[in-house]
Every structure is written in C-alpha cells, then in structure tokens.
Amino acid sequence: MTDTLTLHHLEYSQSFRVLWMLEELQASYELVVYDRDARTMAAPDEYKTLSPLGTAPVVTYGGLTLAESSAIMEFILDKTPGQNLRPGPDSTDRTRYLFWWHAAQGSMMPLQLMKTVTTISQKRLPFFMKPFVKLYTKGLDELFIQPRLDRILAVAEADLATAPWFGGQHVSAADFLIAFNMIVGAERGMITEADHPRCMEWVARMKALPSFARATEKDGRESMALTY
C-alpha cells in the first residue's frame, strides 16, 4: 500500500471482521476505535458522517472512503500483493470460496438481522403491544426466517465435514467475513453445539488463530456482539 489505510472500527460491530483480517495479513494500518452512543447504542454522529451509509465498517485510504465489509475486504486484498486469502480461479476451492463469500452477506446476514430485529421488537415495545408483536414475530420466524437459517447452517455443517475452512483447505477471506455471523450467531444462541457441532468446531479453530488474539486486544472488548 502506498497510502496509509485507516480502519474506523465501531465497537461491537461488523468492523471486527476487517480488523481480524488485517491482523491475519499482518498489514500496516491505523486503527481508530469508536464507542457506540451510550443511549441509542447506534453508531455515534462522528461515525455516521464518515460515509454516506453511516454504518460500520469504514476505511479511508488517501482520498478514498469505503464502506461495506466485503467491498473493504476485497479492496484490502487487492492492495496486498502475495496474500493467499482468496483461492484463485483454477483452485478446486474456488467455487466453495465464492459461495461462502457471497452467502455470508447475501443470505445469512439478512436472516440474522431479521432475527435480531424481531428479538429487539419483542423486548422494547410498550407492554400493551407485546402480545401482538410476539405473535407476529413468532409466525415470521417459524414460517420464514428459521427454515432459511436452518438450511444455510445445514450447508455449512455439510461443507465443514469435507474441509476445515469455509474457503476449503485453507483459511480464506470468506472465513473472516462469515466469522462475525458465526460468532455472534453462537453468542445469541442461533448456532449451538447440539445442532451445529462443526460450525462450533470451526469457531474454535478460528479463535485459535494468533490473529484473533491480536484483533481482540486491539478491539479491547470482551465480545463481538452487542447485548440486547
């Protein structure tokens, strides 16, 4: 990299995956850590003005400001000669890698977000609305969200039976991307030892990487997920 890359890291957020991948790459970068707003738990105003989306992660590089986890991770990999976190077009791991690289954000994360929103709705609404909202969100979960999450986690279990990483034989950018989904999913009870033993083994494998300890130390928080 010719300019300095700055990662704007919001605590308890998806920017942890970028921090972790930067540590895995042993990249040179600057880190700015932001606390969430103590009242709303959203990103603080100074974070929201960084990019038009107002979401974490954001990186800045020279005159560039870039949001979106996967765009940022691709950008970093493009700027890192010799990195081996993306199986090449001729690799037998290529299609598996592509599937998980896209499924993490395209299929899995929206379902996890829906589950989180329904959980928060049940907890934070005025008491007289709770029974109705509970009924509605239960139906939504049973009919739409959970069956889809079950199917993607079943594919994850099947794939992890054939190779140790989501990227196949080697740890890949897809593993660092989906790590947030999996670890937060486990912290929130969406992924369990009983139903998803291989995913949980993979979580343990990921957390055993030295880059996890380095990223956790820089993050300075005890968990990746926000508690509701």
Ligand X SMILES: N[C@@H](CCC(=O)N[C@@H](CS)C(=O)NCC(=O)O)C(=O)O
Q: Contact positions toward ligand X, by CB under 6 A? A: 10, 13-14, 42-43, 55-57, 67-69
The total of other beta-carbon atoms located within 10 Å of residue 68's CB is 16
Cβ nearer to ligand X, comparing 57 with 185:
57
The 3-class secondary structure across 183-226, one letter per residue, is: HHHHHCCCCCCCCCHHHHHHHHHHHCCHHHHHHHHHHCCCCCCC
- Compute the least distance from the CB of residue 70 to ligand X, in Å: 7
- Compute the least distance from the CB of residue 161 to ligand X, in Å: 28
Q: Angle at CA 164, nearest 5°, toward 163 and 166?
A: 85
Cβ nearer to ligand X, comparing 66 with 98:
66
- Compute the least distance from the CB of residue 128 to ligand X, in Å: 28
Cβ nearer to ligand X, comparing 71 with 158:
71
Preceding amide of 197 cis, omega within 30: no
Cβ nearer to ligand X, comparing 10 with 93:
10
Does residue 29 contact residue 36 with C-beta atoms inside 8 Å?
Answer: no
Alpha carbon distance 184, 191 (integer Å):
9
Cβ nearer to ligand X, comparing 184 with 191:
184
Helices (H) and strands (E) in the chain, counts: 10, 4
- Compute the least distance from the CB of residue 66 to ligand X, in Å: 10
- Compute the least distance from the CB of residue 54 to ligand X, in Å: 6
